[in-house]
């Protein structure tokens, strides 16, 4: 089914039943095999409110054949076409009693291999030898994110809430949005479903209130070539 009209107009869509119960259980097993035996890793972040694995597709590449089942590959090709590659992935595990929340924001940075002078590339940061930069909005406008839901996600355990169509406004300070005139949607997703969203869509996440775990695999995609000598640091061509 083609969801591109909804993605373009609203900035997101939700698709259920992308993964079978067996596929989800296999993903959980692969993740737990790594996390239970890993004590110190720079890409792992652990607190009482959140466990995260950055560069997830590189840390646990065994998950890729299960993530990119035929359903997901068909969805990507039908809605976006060919030529896209992974540019970033993060695994989020929000525990049952998590007080972790995220305020409304846009995803404005990409991960790159080094810092260079490039026109309209700004707001450079570096963390654990990982460079990030805000690219021109044309790059962000063409990218998309897929969030794979390992658990049922509701308004009570931190489902994303979004401002519909806010991705069409370009890069914007949150104060410029008139919330009384905007439409907000809470993006509840069934276990084994996905949410597709554009990076410039304003999104946020509330605290957990129902003592239910929320695990999500967040994967960003692009087909954009960066300026000379600048490369996507987490780029994976084939999936």
| CATH homologous superfamily of 4-222 | q2cbj1_9rhob like domain (2.60.120.620)
In the chain, what are the domain boundaries? 4-222
What would you measure as the largest C-alpha separation in the chain, in angstroms?
A: 49
Residue 77: which H helix or E strand, with range? helix 70-80
Residue 41: per-residue pLDDT:
60
Instruction: Record the pTM.
Output: 0.93
Residue 230: per-residue pLDDT:
93
Residue 12: per-residue pLDDT:
98
Tell me the average confidence (pLDDT) per consecutive run of 10 residues in the chain, 239 residues long.
94 98 96 72 56 90 96 97 95 77 94 93 88 96 98 93 96 90 96 98 90 92 92 88
Write the burial class of residue 103 (CB in 10 Å: 0-12 exposed, 13-18 middle, 19+ buried).
exposed
How far apart, in Å, are the Cα atoms of 116 and each of 124, 135, 209, 214, 230?
Answer: 10, 12, 44, 38, 7
Residue 211: per-residue pLDDT:
83
Residue 9: which H helix or E strand, with range? helix 4-10
Residue 96: per-residue pLDDT:
65
Assign residue 34 a region: left if phi > 0, alpha if psi is -120 to 50, beta otherwise? alpha
Residue 146: per-residue pLDDT:
98
């Amino acid at each position: 089914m083609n969801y591109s009209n909804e993605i373009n107009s609203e900035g997101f869509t939700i698709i259920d039943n992308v993964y079978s119960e067996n596929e989800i259980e296999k993903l959980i097993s692969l993740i737990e095999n790594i996390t239970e035996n890993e004590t110190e890793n720079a890409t792992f972040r652990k607190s009482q409110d959140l466990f995260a694995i950055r560069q997830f597709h590189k840390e646990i590449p065994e998950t890729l054949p299960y993530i990119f089942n035929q359903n997901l590959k068909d969805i990507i090709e039908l809605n976006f076409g060919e030529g896209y590659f992974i540019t970033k992935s993060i695994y989020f595990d929000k525990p049952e009693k998590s007080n972790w929340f995220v305020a409304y924001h846009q995803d404005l940075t990409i991960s790159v291999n080094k810092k260079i002078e490039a026109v309209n590339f700004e707001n450079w940061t570096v963390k654990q030898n990982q460079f990030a930069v805000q690219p021109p909005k044309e790059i962000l406008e063409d990218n998309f994110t897929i969030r794979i839901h390992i658990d049922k996600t509701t308004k009570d355990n931190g489902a994303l809430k979004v401002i519909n169509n806010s991705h069409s406004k370009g890069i914007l300070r949150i104060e410029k949005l008139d919330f009384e005139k905007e439409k907000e949607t809470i993006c509840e997703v069934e276990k084994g479903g996905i949410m597709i969203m554009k990076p410039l869509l304003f999104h946020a996440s509330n605290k957990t209130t129902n003592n239910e775990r929320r695990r999500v695999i967040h994967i960003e995609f692009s087909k954009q070539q960066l300026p000379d000598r600048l490369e996507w640091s987490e780029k994976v061509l084939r999936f």
